[in-house]
Amino acid sequence: MDWKAIANAPWIWFAGFVQAVIGVGQAWYFLRLATRLLGKHGGYQRKDVWAIVRGAIITAFGPIMAEIFVMMALIIAISPAYAWQREGVGVGSVFTELVQVSNAAVGAGQEFGSPSFNMVGFATAMVVVNVSCIGWSLGAAFFTRYLAKARDKIARGDPRFLAVISVASTLGIFGYYAANEMKKGGGRPTAVIAGAVLSAFLFKLADWLKVPRLKEWALGIAMFGGMYIAHLLGS
């Protein structure tokens, strides 16, 4: 049987559903727990929580659409069911998925995307791409409870220094991603700079105008605005 047909058969949709049920169940439980805590001990009313949810939905829209577009490469190269199984709740990022499939193919002595890739290559990929990412989930299971202790030990109970660590580490991560895109050239530096300027401006504008609801939209508008400006100036 052709590996492409097997790669879109019900078994792989089913495997994706099992993962999705666990992932969504976990998220739903944490959502309930966090909203209950915020309502009971944080002084948040239902409308406040809804504003947070709305902000997250607006922000998630762009990256999810981008994920779906990039996923098309997986759908074409392998199958829709494979894209669902790996990207629904699959630990890995859509951007690194094809790299890992290629690594698996090399392990099987084949080249992904060439006629040499066959059932052996696909079976190897199914083991390698799925099992190689359990380091993240097992790490979460066994080490999450120690992350707070490590952070508090570094900050030594000083809330100002805790804020220093949080903001500096986030700027460090996104400084890396931003610099990495800028290095690639083309319209990408424009997208980074336009996204950054728009986002900073919109968050500041929300404070100036005293319209906190604008913050729900700020990151979403900045993402699409940055993308559109880069399209206009970069091509």
Partner 1 sequence: MSPGNEGFVDIAAEPFEKEYLDPVHRVGFWTSIAISVAMFLPALLLYLIYGAFAPWAAILAGMGLALTYAVPFFIIEPISYYPVYGDAGNYMSMTTGNVSNLRLPCAAVAQAVAGVPEGTRKGAAIAAVGIAVSVIIGVAGVFLGSLAGGWIVTLFPKWLTDAFKIYLLPAVWGAVFGQFALRGPVYAIPAVIIAGVPLLLGWKAYLVIPVAVFGTILVAWALYRWRNIAPRVG
28 to 67, contacts with partner 1 by CB under 8 A? 28-31, 33-38, 40-44, 48-49, 51-60, 62-67
Task: Identify the residue among 4, 77, 98, 187 touching partner 1 (CB under 8 A).
Answer: 187
Residues 83-142 that bind partner 1 (CB under 8 A): 83-85, 87-96, 99-100, 103-109, 119-120, 122-142
Count the site residues for partner 1 by CB under 8 A.
Answer: 166
Q: How far apart are CA 158 and CA 160, in angstroms?
A: 6
Task: Identify the residue among 4, 20, 77, 98 touching partner 1 (CB under 8 A).
Answer: 20
Q: How far apart are CA 5 and CA 110, in angstroms?
A: 19
Q: How far is the CB of 89 from partner 1 (least distance, A)?
A: 5
User: What is the sign, positive or negative, of the torsion defined by CA atoms of 13, 16, 22, 26?
Assistant: negative
Are 74 and 129 in contact, with CB atoms under 8 Å apart?
no
Are 124 and 108 in contact, with CB atoms under 8 Å apart?
yes
- 78 belongs to the binding site for partner 1 (CB under 8 A): no
Residues in the chain: 235
Q: How far is the CB of 188 from partner 1 (least distance, A)?
A: 4
